[in-house]
Amino acid sequence: MSDGKPSIAVLGGTGDLGGGLARRWAKAGYKVIIGSRSAEKGINSAEELKASLPGSDVSGADLKDAATQADIVAVTVPYANHGATLEQIKEAVQGKIVIDTTVPLRPPKVGRVQLPEAGSAGQEAQNVLGDDVRVVSAFQNVAAHHLMADHDIDCDVLVSGNNVEAREVVIGLAADGGMKAWHAGPINNAAAAEALTSILIQINKREKAHSGIRITLGK
């Protein structure tokens, strides 16, 4: 932990969503480790990010090494690689917070809700990693287009997980990345945010937009 801030491994940080989150957190002063199946690819992405954010603390590694080095691990891989990634990092993340951003999209019908038997990708992650890992599901409904831009993001983040303190940590990470996040209950509720992604894909396709969600509190 550096300067009181936890280090964050972004597994899949070479992709659009992971790269956007890595950029936001590096800009906010976090030490970021970009994890990829190829260590070389992770290192190259880290060098590109450091070049665009002078003074940032960014490095690259393979998935397991990145997860081992970090205090908090964010899984941002495609659903096709989700299960294999979880198995690969399982030992390295015991006792840690794992942020799961995965949505069970099944090409070519990504605009159709197709949740897995466990109920959600977040629940699958909790089942695989075990009770000693605090899995928090978040960031599914934020477009990578917005994450890569240098402005606050005008959409909200739903944060689900069985550990309230872990959810609070992720809500803080969202705030540091320019996003408003909300406690959305236990990991079972990850299904709602994951399902919403397919709906947003349909809206984006029709409206040629990068839509998100907003929570309003009526009094």
- State what percent of residues in the chain have pLDDT above 70: 99
Q: Confidence band (pLDDT; 50, 70, 90) for 152?
A: confident
Q: Confidence band (pLDDT; 50, 70, 90) for 2?
A: low
CA dist., res. 210 & res. 145, Å (int): 7
Report the pLDDT value the prediction gives residue 4, as an integer from 0 to 100.
84
Q: Are 131 and 98 in contact (CB under 8 A)?
A: no
Model pLDDT for residues 75-96, shown as the tens digit of each residue: 999 999 999 999 999 999 999 9
Residue 128, SS3?
Answer: helix
Which stretches does DSSP call E strand in the chain?
A: 8-11, 32-36, 58-62, 72-75, 97-100, 134-137, 156-161, 180-183
CA dist., res. 167 & res. 75, Å (int): 15
As to burial, measured by CB atoms within 10 angstroms (0-12 exposed, 13-18 middle, 19+ buried), residue 164 is exposed
Superfamily of domain 8-207 in the CATH hierarchy? NAD(P)-binding Rossmann-like Domain (3.40.50.720)
Mean pLDDT of 20-31: 96
CA dist., res. 127 & res. 214, Å (int): 30
DSSP 8-state secondary structure symbol assigned to residue 4: T
Residue 42, SS3?
Answer: helix
Mean pLDDT of 91-102: 98
Mean pLDDT of 94-114: 94
Provide the mean pLDDT of the chain.
94
Please report where in the chains the tokens 């995965």 appear, as a residue: 102
Lay out the sheet containing 72-75: strands in order across.
Answer: 58-62, 32-36, 8-11, 72-75, 97-100, 134-137, 156-161, 180-183
Report the pLDDT value the prediction gives residue 150, as an integer from 0 to 100.
81
| Residue 148 reports pLDDT greater than 90 | no
Please report where in the chains the tokens 């705030």 appear, as a residue: 175
CA dist., res. 88 & res. 75, Å (int): 12
Report the pLDDT value the prediction gives residue 175, as an integer from 0 to 100.
96
Mean pLDDT of 165-189: 97
Mean pLDDT of 137-147: 92
Q: Are 29 and 7 in contact (CB under 8 A)?
A: no
What pTM was computed for the model?
0.95
Q: Confidence band (pLDDT; 50, 70, 90) for 143?
A: confident
Sketch the domain layout of the chain as residue ranges: 8-207
